[in-house]
Chains A and B, each alone.
Chain A
């Protein structure tokens, strides 16, 4: 069994950054999810994004998500990376990789993990648009009711 990985980082996230880190001989599946910077929000052109995080707490909350999925499914190992700073179109903002003996557990756990990350982990996205405007995006405040 490999060690879990929970990290906020400034540098580029490669799409395969977690694959080997979560994989062990007893695993039959690895599910990875990459969140990527899109070139528009509802048709308004995006120039780039800036992510900010409460780093120590964000890593702690990501670890809590890992602990949650291990309680709910038969999971071997969890890795979650989130990048902060300026991100260009097409770059990876978040990467999750979850390994398990059988595929269903890692597929379901990965979906759950990204949904929870968007609810509980103190990270914020600023959109800078091609028309010159910019704004911090705020998620759904009620989502934290289930923190």
Chain B
């Protein structure tokens, strides 16, 4: 499946881009996506525990299953206001 992955703030700085298209095996979960990103950027695994994850703009847990066409975002602790 193909998904769009968004990165913000400190997470964008680490990954080096705000948006990526990625291809993952069918039935992959958020955890699988984190592993894939960590295999490319080892420090991502250190940051991951503090990140919230959304799928199609709704917060989800790590075991959430991804689907083709999903928009996934990695969300550092928010600091608006």
Contacts and interface: CB of A to CB of B under 8 A. Distances in A.
B9 A93 contact: no
Interface residues of B, number: 19
Interface residues of A, number: 32
B81 interface: yes
- Chain B CB within 10 Å — which of A58, A82, A117, A139 has the most? A139
A129 to B, nearest CB: 15
A51 B10 contact: no
Nearest to B6: A54
Contacts of B80: 51, 53, 58, 82, 93-94, 117-118, 121-125
A52 B9 contact: yes
Contacts, number: 82
Contacts of A54: 6, 8, 54, 57, 73, 75
A57 B54 contact: yes
A124 B76 contact: yes
Contact of B78 (A114, A126, A144): A144
A139 B6 contact: no
A138 B50 contact: yes
B37 interface: no
Contacts of A56: 57
B16 interface: no
Given A52-B8, A56-B57, A136-B9, A141 B81 contact: no
A54 B80 CA distance: 11
B8 A121 contact: no
A80 to B, nearest CB: 11
B39 to A, nearest CB: 24
Interface string B37-81: 000000000000010101001010000000000000101111111
Interface of A: 35, 51-54, 56-58, 60, 82, 93-94, 114, 117-126, 136-141, 143-144, 147
Given A60-B57, A93-B80, A124-B79, 17 more contacts: A52-B12, A54-B57, A117-B80, A118-B78, A121-B78, A123-B78, A123-B79, A124-B8, A124-B9, A124-B10, A124-B78, A125-B80, A126-B9, A138-B76, A138-B77, A140-B77, A144-B59
